[in-house]
Chain A
């Protein structure tokens, strides 16, 4: 049954075309240069992380704190040095040397201060192997993982016609009079949609990771993600592991959404109305992404489409809740699809 429905989705639902277009658009969006805001200068950060890379040692921390103190001192002397130069207590050479060191200190201040704060935060963590490395690229990868409209549109294009086409083609009555045409068919339809959407979502995340790997490499992929997120919440999960987990979380969220869209299109029996309603329901979590926290994320899991999953999301609980939601939505669709008209 599932094979027959997948075949139908491929042939009638133009699944390969949707997948190719979605992946192409995702690829284009990945290669377009993006501006990422940081609390430090990436160039200086690279320089420092290369210098201080590896384990957090007391000696490295002492050097870093000394450098911060030196920078703060240099920045704090600015007005005094200016006055001294005006009063003729400094030669031009001495003043030039100071302004040069002041400029460098000003450029490095935010970065060194950030590194010190990060060091402090890392020191408070204990569940993973704490290391300093150049993590800006990974941080950008995680930070740019915003609400994926391409995936949303692709999901709607796959899910809405799955049931809606049966009404518009007029084949609805012939299907319902078939032996397996009620429960099993509806379940197979939902399953075909959910599987397709899940696979596409994973592929989309794969494209992002592929482009990232091609551009920056995967040098630090085995580093614990806590080194970037500065929390013990993820334990020894690596950067790659976190990205893969997040890709799975998003794929599951969007798959559950696709089941909800199936239910909507079964209830609406109108392409336009189904599309509009499904779009509204699918986009709403984007606006909720920052508001939904804690346990509410299990219920309104759509909010996870707009950000990387936080440490307080227990993946086992999330997968279980998603499975329950998927079952409920499928059961409701089967019931609605198979019920006799009154």
Chain B
């Protein structure tokens, strides 16, 4: 299965939200990484068929997804940034309703399977209105997976989840990602580092890089440094250098930074991680710090 984006552009009056986005995706987990406003949600909504692009096209195995209509939607699973639910419905009723809309065969079995997958089987009869944020996200994932989609779109799926639930989510994606094209938009690096087959870097609506997580990290080899220093010196250094953060190893304080040249005599070369890729690509924004997860 080949999902091809061909010069997809989206313009909101004066603002260019997506600028000639072209990429071809096959089966696997593809992470769309970028800060807020990079165009991730715009791309997700266009891919989900909710938003019309200004120009360009998206095709699945050579067929335009809009022309495919219901055939395309039958293959689609979508979890928006803010999944909405009917508060008075139970988890089971919610899934049952969507199962009708998605033409799911053997609804009851499939719903039980999904509730089990997201660990909500005990809460199947509880009203969704009484669910925590994490439970709602899990229900959203169950809902997106209900029709066993070939294309799964997850927009900021871990926003608002606690660390335990994030780990559970990562395991879930690894589990379900086989044989599907999973497109996952996030600005939280730790969500995708270990589970993504490719990472797409999106900045100001443009695709600025695409590789595996390891491949992107390798591009930074020789550029990532840990500089041991005192806590006061570290604070001063951070204030002067945008792409840097403080890390502690065994009680020692290091400044973790990116630099083409050795930044200090005592600086030690460090192994680049996806967080460094993010810092390198998107700068030291507040989101870049969030990206550490």
Contacts and interface: CB of A to CB of B under 8 A. Distances in A.
Interface of A: 1, 4, 7-8, 11-12, 165-166, 169-182, 185, 340-342
B70 A180 contact: yes
A177 B76 contact: yes
A175 to B, nearest CB: 7
Given A8-B97, A170-B83, A170-B84, A176 B50 contact: yes
9 contacts: A11-B89, A171-B83, A176-B49, A176-B50, A179-B70, A179-B74, A179-B102, A340-B51, A341-B45
A132 to B, nearest CB: 58
B83 A181 contact: no
Nearest to B74: A179
B51 A179 contact: no
A4 B94 CA distance: 11
B192 interface: no
Nearest to B12: A342
| Residue from A1, A12, A169, A177 whose CB has the most chain B CB atoms within 10 Å | A177
Given A12-B88, A170-B84, A174-B84, A180 B52 contact: no
Contact of A181 (B73, B93, B143): B73
Interface residues of B, number: 32
Interface in B24-57: 45, 48-52
Nearest to A183: B70
A169 B84 contact: yes
Given A174-B98, A174-B143, A12 B89 contact: yes
A185 B101 CA distance: 7
Contacts of B147: 178-179
Contacts of A173: 45, 48, 50, 78, 80, 84
Contacts of A4: 97, 100-101
B87 interface: yes
A172 B82 CA distance: 11
B139 to A, nearest CB: 11
Contacts of B51: 340-341
Given A12-B89, A179-B102, A341-B52, A174 B73 contact: no
A178 B69 CA distance: 10
A166 B50 CA distance: 14
A322 to B, nearest CB: 29
Interface string B161-204: 00000000000000000000000000000000000000000000
Contacts of B101: 1, 4, 175, 178-181, 185
Given A171-B84, A174-B84, A341 B103 contact: no
A8 B90 CA distance: 12
A172 B143 CA distance: 14
A170 B49 contact: no
Contact of A177 (B49, B66, B86, B89): B49
